[in-house]
Chain A
Amino acid sequence: MKLEMLNIVKSFGANDVLKDVNFSLEGGEVCALLGENGAGKSTLMNILGGVVLADSGRIIIDGQERHFNKPLDSLDAGIGFIHQDLNLIDDLAVYENMFINHELKKRNGLLDISTMCDRCEEIFERMDVKIDPKTMVRELDASYKQIVEIARALMMEAQIIIMDEPTTSLTEPEIERVFAMMENLKEQGVGMVFISHKLKEVVHICDRYTVLRDGDMVAEGMVKDVTVNDLAKFMVGHEVRTESLQRERSLGEEVLRGENMSFQRCFKDVSFSLRAGEVLGFTGLLGDGRSELFRTVFGCNTEYRGGIYLDGKKMRIKSPKHALELGIGYLPRNRKENGIIKDMNILENGTVVIWPRLVRRFLINRNLQREKFQANVDGLRIKLENDTDRIGSLSGGNQQKVVLAKWLSADPKVLILDNPTQGVDVGAKEDIYDIILDLADAGMAVVVLSSEAQEIIRVCDRALVMYHGEIRGEVSGDVMTEENIMRLATGGQVKQIGEAEHGSN
């Protein structure tokens, strides 16, 4: 089976996500689809999976043009799409998940459980794995869930399987298991698309690669001809604006220190130190544990091991409220779920953390509330008509500034910003960078968590790069380049200045 996607174009509003992209896949090969967040990989695969419609372009399978209007069309054409967040129902057995929506029935209308189990076992045998079809999916570990999804796709007679970051939530032995199965499928002539940020895995399992950047296809070829570093460079490109905005400033005393912090599988043995007036970056790939680490610092998780020191004093932070009282602010990722209260107005959203401080004679003093908020509206250049409007009436950038205003109103010593420019337009993005640097100038200690290397380079004094819950390395000054960050984040080494192009790895 041969797949070709020709001249695919797709835009969402004014945002061109795919500009004339070609992609091809042969049966029996694994092709890596690479690119940074927002490069267009998911959109391209969603078009192939029938999840979104392309604006123009053709999909050709074995020389025949096909049109996918819905996921089922794509499945009928033999394409199985395994989404990053698995689509299995935990409370049903394996065979029930495999046959969901295609259940086999006996003549009397009842479910034909034994035939379904037999069919499952046939597939598992073909894949060379052992799973009892009657096990509950909840009891399987993450790699077996992945395998069950793949098995389901095979049962639907998929000849092409798209895997969207299949290894992010897996441990090393689990990854090995999935890879072994992929090798097996390859021999049987199944074609696979492997979307991943982990370049080492790509080199290990893939035959070919295609790299997208900002909606353009920038490179393709055989994996055996390139190194991990080449791939990282293709993904990052060179023309992007990455000059640091750092300003000269003197750093104060140490404010926050983490010592050997560990929590389950989320982060291991992490130590860091942050001084007043410093902007410290934490970066890495999705699921590297940085968010969990700083949610812990903010008191959301009290079961960690290791120590948190504030102004040199060891602290056990019991709750977000406690963290707030100690002078820690935390702007969470995913504004809609964690940042804003949609039923409340702008003013209330911008002051929620200091309500108790605004009380005069048992009631929240409106004038005081306005006064506090207005100071931030001016300082952060928030554009709003009326502070009693719904928070939802603002643009993403202004909403984010209101969430930032909320934390600034509490006047924290340490401010943790998790993905501060998520869902924010370019102009507001630059505003937020300016604000971060102004805050540091004023002596605040700032932590920026981001998976965008450019962002880290632009605002941070130095950055710690995490990989699988551990700190893989620190970059600052001239070594803080996108290439180096990408290398560390994918489990590689930093390239020192002056080192030969293909020196390491």
Chain B
Amino acid sequence: MEVIKEKGMQFGGWFKYNWINNLLFSTAIILLVMLILQTQALGFHYDSFGDWFAAWSRNLTNVLRNNAGIGIIALGMTFVIISGGIDLAVGSTLVAVGAAIMVLMDTGPGGLLGQMGITGFPAYALAVILGMGTGLVLGELTGFLITKGKIPPFIATLGTMQLFRSVTQHFMQGYNPAVPKGFLPLASFKFGNLMLMPIIYWLIIAVVMYIVATRTVFGRQVYAIGSNERTARLSGINVIRVKRRVYALMGFLVSIAAIIQVARIGSMDYANAGAGYELDAIAAVIVGGTSFAGGKGSMIGTVLGVMIIAVMNNLLNLWGVPPFLREAFKGAIVIAAVLMQRKEKEL
């Protein structure tokens, strides 16, 4: 099937052309369809339009807020996958960073900053900065193993995935830090009755990442390396440095997700927090149209991909599909996305 772009095309032709040739377009259409279904599933049995709208927006912001962490991680994962790699350790990094900030801020006797007499806002700021630093260092370590150690990304991060979580669990056993109340508004500040902070962080980071990906030397070099590493190296790109930065950036973004999660929930389950995040993030990136072979993909696609999976989950919930079955739909949509990408390639 071949559709040629031509002037004076009817809507049907225009739609078909974009559906086949423009991956972002088809992804956005799928999201739109899901939003319509979701609206429909939510029902219209409200007293007034105001009531309905309040319920509708609350539902949607809940969905987005619950997925903001994954959304931020998926943005970093997009770069990792575009560069031709993979990072399985994001969930474990999240736990490690979360543990680090909680130990720093703990209001109990074990709190590191508290012991040094730093409390209140300075303590929060310091915890956030050190938490981001931890994420960066862990990401840098992954990058080091992959570039200098020449370990395939899948293996290297499979290793660090086990390592980070297990070490965190060991040191945190029997220790229950309490997060100070003053820290929580970082994520749970309310606009009216809507909790929007995580969504705002997500969108700001998405905009920044979009610009980094499309307009900076680093961003373009990531695409170049993913598309053809040999040419990239022969074109004077420092492949090793760029790759290390990709994983460091990944660690940094995970640390932001960790900070949001700690501020939102006020605690962390070291055994289970972040478990499965790596697969959720990868699924979102793939649904968003990024090629697993590297070199192709976009941040906008990833944002749409996260939203599609999130809205679909909500939709299945509203429809009353049993929770165990919902995972099957997630799997199906990933496979469908890859089949769609192939259709595009063959044309």
Give the interface of A toward B (CB within 8 A): 298, 300, 319-321, 323-325, 330, 332, 337-344, 348, 352-353, 355-356, 358-359, 362-364, 406, 410
Closest A-chain residue to B227, C-beta based?
A343
Indicate if the CB atoms of B235 and A364 lie closer than 8 Å.
no
Binding stretch for chain A, among B113-121, B217-225, B246-254: B217-225
Cβ 8 A contact of B224, one of A319, A332, A339, A341: A341
Q: Which residues of the partner chain A approach B237 to less than 8 Å between Cβ atoms?
A: 321, 352
Report the Cα distance A323→B237, complex, angstroms.
11
Interface membership of chain B positions 211-254, coded 1 if the CB is closer than 8 angstroms to chain A and 0 otherwise = 10001110011011011101111111110000000000000000
Report the Cα distance A412→B224, complex, angstroms.
22
Closest B-chain residue to A357, C-beta based?
B217
Report the Cα distance A341→B223, complex, angstroms.
9
Closest B-chain residue to A319, C-beta based?
B238
Report the Cα distance A321→B221, complex, angstroms.
13
Report the Cα distance A323→B235, complex, angstroms.
10
Indicate if the CB atoms of A342 and B228 lie closer than 8 Å.
yes
Indicate if the CB atoms of A356 and B224 lie closer than 8 Å.
no
Report the Cα distance A344→B221, complex, angstroms.
11
* Interface SS of B by simple majority: helix
Indicate if the CB atoms of A355 and B220 lie closer than 8 Å.
yes
Known interface pairs A341-B224, A342-B227, A344-B220; 5 further A-B residue pairs with C-beta atoms within 8 A, sorted by A's residue number: A321-B237, A339-B234, A342-B295, A355-B221, A364-B217
Indicate if the CB atoms of A300 and B224 lie closer than 8 Å.
no
B16 at the interface (CB under 8 A from A): no
B326 at the interface (CB under 8 A from A): no
Question: Could you give 21 example pairs across A and B, Cβ below 8 Å?
Answer: A321-B236, A330-B234, A337-B230, A339-B234, A340-B231, A341-B232, A343-B228, A344-B223, A344-B224, A348-B220, A352-B224, A352-B235, A352-B237, A353-B236, A355-B221, A359-B216, A359-B217, A362-B216, A364-B217, A364-B220, A406-B235
Closest B-chain residue to A365, C-beta based?
B215
Indicate if the CB atoms of A338 and B223 lie closer than 8 Å.
no
Closest B-chain residue to A322, C-beta based?
B236
Cβ 8 A contact of B236, one of A320, A340, A358: A320
Closest A-chain residue to B211, C-beta based?
A363
Cβ 8 A contact of A338, one of B217, B234, B296: B234
Q: Which residues of the partner chain B approach A324 to less than 8 Å between Cβ atoms?
A: 236
Indicate if the CB atoms of B217 and A320 lie closer than 8 Å.
no
Cβ 8 A contact of B234, one of A320, A342, A356, A364: A320
Q: Which residue, of B223, B224, B233, B236, has the highest number of chain A Cβ atoms within 10 A?
A: B236
Q: Which residues of the partner chain A approach B235 to less than 8 Å between Cβ atoms?
A: 320, 352-353, 406
Q: Which residues of the partner chain B approach A358 to less than 8 Å between Cβ atoms?
A: 217
Q: Which residues of the partner chain A approach B231 to less than 8 Å between Cβ atoms?
A: 337-341
Q: Which residues of the partner chain A approach B224 to less than 8 Å between Cβ atoms?
A: 341, 344, 348, 352
Knowing A300-B234, A406-B235, say if A341 contacts B217 (CB, 8 Å): no
Q: Which residue, of A325, A330, A359, A364, has the highest number of chain B Cβ atoms within 10 A?
A: A364
Q: Which residues of the partner chain B approach A363 to less than 8 Å between Cβ atoms?
A: 211, 215-216
CB distance from B28 to the nearest CB of A (A): 21
CB distance from A62 to the nearest CB of B (A): 46
Q: Which residues of the partner chain A approach B226 to less than 8 Å between Cβ atoms?
A: 343
Q: Which residues of the partner chain B approach A356 to less than 8 Å between Cβ atoms?
A: 217
Report the Cα distance A114→B226, complex, angstroms.
47
Report the Cα distance A348→B236, complex, angstroms.
14
Report the Cα distance A484→B233, complex, angstroms.
37
Q: Which residues of the partner chain A approach B234 to less than 8 Å between Cβ atoms?
A: 298, 300, 320, 330, 332, 338-339
CB distance from B84 to the nearest CB of A (A): 11
CB distance from B238 to the nearest CB of A (A): 5
Report the Cα distance A259→B231, complex, angstroms.
28
Report the Cα distance A111→B223, complex, angstroms.
47
CB distance from A370 to the nearest CB of B (A): 14
Q: Which residue, of B216, B233, B235, has the highest number of chain A Cβ atoms within 10 A?
A: B235
Closest B-chain residue to A331, C-beta based?
B234
